[in-house]
Amino acid sequence: MKTENKILQLLKTNGAMTAKELASELKVTTMGIRQHMLQLEQANDVAYQDKKAARGRPTRYWSLTKKSDRHFPDGHETLNLQIIESVRQVFGEQGLERLIKQREQETFVHYSQKLNQLDGLRPKLEELAKIRSDEGYMATVEERDGEFWLLENHCSICAAASSCLNFCRSELQLFQNLFKDLAEITREEHIMQGARRCAYKLMPLS
């Protein structure tokens, strides 16, 4: 993988980073990273923000632009805007809602077959993250102070979700149903509301 692609992956997963942090992750020189950042900036894939430091010069943080989305998976080809609009025109909003519900039910069965082979919240959540990553969501799992987080750094159905937010509502319900006996799930960050990722918090049930 090219260094510039690795940089894009790191920024997608970690959010804003400095050239020094990127150089440390990729085991290259800071000067080399700055050269790559210049090329990525010229391509409008990254932008920077200078933040005041406790001492000395401001620290420069690099992050992805909206244009950088073209470098990441855009799966679920059947859920494109044309199909959604066609369903609306032919079957109305109720027909579209039935389509979303059917997709949710089929996905629930698919995920459950994988998760039911495992015991415990953490193993099941890590398996879900693996499945979601395979689908293009770039999902990871974190644990903080007894709470678990499912972090999805990319939305592979972004176009569909932008056209119909019920897809997003359906995915939250899907996760809640998958873990209803193990955890309470809320969505704390949402790409459709301007966040750089979707973040789901899981509070284990006592």
- Domains of the chain are 3-71 (1.10.10.10), 81-204 (3.30.1380)
Q: Which of 149, 13, 163 is nearest to 84 (CA)?
A: 163
DSSP-derived secondary structure for 112-180 = HHHHTTS-SHHHHHHHHHHHHHHTT--EEEEEETTEEEEEE---TTHHHHHH-THHHHHHHHHHHHHTT
Could you tell me which residues are beta bridge partners of residue 59?
A: 51
**Each residue's pLDDT tens digit, 68-119:** 988 887 655 555 667 778 888 888 888 888 988 998 999 999 999 999 999 9
Report, as ranges of residue numbers, the positions in the chain whose pLDDT lies below 50: none
Specify the residue for token string 């950088």: 68
Residue type, 53: A
What is residue 192's predicted lDDT score, i.e. its pLDDT? 85
- Its pTM stands at 0.70
Residue type, 190: H
What is residue 5's predicted lDDT score, i.e. its pLDDT? 93
What is residue 74's predicted lDDT score, i.e. its pLDDT? 61
What is residue 162's predicted lDDT score, i.e. its pLDDT? 61
Backbone angles phi and psi of 26, in degrees to 5? -95, 0
Structure tokens at 100: 């979303």
